Amino acid sequence: MLDVLRRTATAGILALGTVAGLAFAANAQTVLRVATDSGAAGSPSGDAIANWAKAIEEGSNGAIEVRVFYQEELGNQLEVFDLFVAGEVDLMLSWPSTSYDRRIGVLNTPYMVTTWEDAFEAYKPGGWVNGVLNVVFNDIGLVYFGAWPEGFNGVATRGKKAITVEEAKALGMRVRVPPFFPMAQTLEAMGYQTASIAWGEVFTSIQTGVVDGEAGNVIYWDYEYFRDVLDYYVQTRHNFVTGNLLANKASFERLTPEQQELVRSTAVAEMQKQFESARTEDEKYIALAQQSGLEYILPTDEQLAALAAEVRAVVWPQMDAEIGPEIMGLIRERAQ
């Protein structure tokens, strides 16, 4: 009930702010709200939206004010995305749920790209994944500017590890997965049992043996939050994990053409900066994790190829009905 009351009150305040801030006359200041569903102030994603806000304000010579909201300041992950789709948040760095459109699951397509070079070519403006996401997000009233990459994910576990499908099955390993299609299906194809557990309960769930670990994140999150209860991190690379730099379409269209270009160009600049730094950051946290005692394992090219072949064969046919044969046909054609 408290969550409902908080959400209702927040929505009312933001709705009034939207009318006051975006229904502006000539020479009036434009107010935009930018939020992220994952990242406190000072975190990499928190810094990204703060930098985006600053670039917009400076580029507009003070004509646009951008108010920044970090993780959980407006509600949980699903609540803040609700506000965003409703136009009560104008800009967002988001890891969106598939509840609005199952085609958003294209973000989680396993083994769509397998190297940083392939990922940059696919996700950059004009890249083939960028084009697919433009269509999907536009259909739910959002403007997609580009990916904000974190890197390739893996499976982090306690007490035991698996590199092959056969090992995961033989050990009866159970891991937490994010509640987004086809995350569970991917890990099950890799031989694991899965559980959907709220982020705030993952540490205790690993500590008490409810699950053997968690799967779906780049090593930063496992090092930062769970290193005291984890022993292994196998970088299976089953997903290239990215946030998404987005605008509410109605909010965006209220801006002048010059302001739209400013918002778009600063978003692309933030995306490009993150592509340049994300790989270095990932390597830094791999080293920090190893220093903390977490054993980092990178499967061989042959092992990765075997995982990719098994997972694609099982999961991609399931995605045809959810994502659509046209998009999946493009993925099959272009995936490396």
pLDDT, one tens digit per residue, over 271-299 is 989 988 989 999 999 999 999 999 999 99
State pLDDT tens for residues 52-90: 999 999 999 989 999 999 998 999 888 999 999 999 999
CATH numbers and ranges of domains, the chain: 2-150+241-278 (3.40.190.170), 154-239+283-334 (3.40.190.170)
Bridge partner residues of 215 (DSSP): 155
- Encoded tokens for 81: 């995305």
- The chain-wide mean pLDDT, for the chain, equals 89
Bridge partner residues of 296 (DSSP): 233
Q: Which residue bears the tokens 């006359």?
A: 25
Structure confidence at residue 27 as a pLDDT band (50, 70, 90): very low
No. of helices (H) and no. of strands (E), the chain? 13, 11
Among candidate residues 208, 210, 213, the one with its CA nearest the CA of residue 230: 213
State pLDDT tens for residues 216-258: 899 999 999 999 999 999 999 999 999 999 999 999 999 999 9
Q: Which residue bears the tokens 């969550």?
A: 3
Structure confidence at residue 21 as a pLDDT band (50, 70, 90): very low
Structure confidence at residue 30 as a pLDDT band (50, 70, 90): very high
Whole-number Å distance between alpha carbons of 155 and 7 = 34
To which H or E segment does residue 281 belong? Answer: helix 257-291
Contact 87, 142 (CB under 8 A): no
SS3 148: strand
For the CA atoms of 136, 140, 143, 148, what is the dihedral angle to 10 degrees? -60
State pLDDT tens for residues 203-226: 999 999 999 999 989 999 999 999
- Encoded tokens for 302: 């042959």
Count how many residues are written for the chain.
Answer: 336
Q: Supply the pLDDT for residue 80.
A: 93
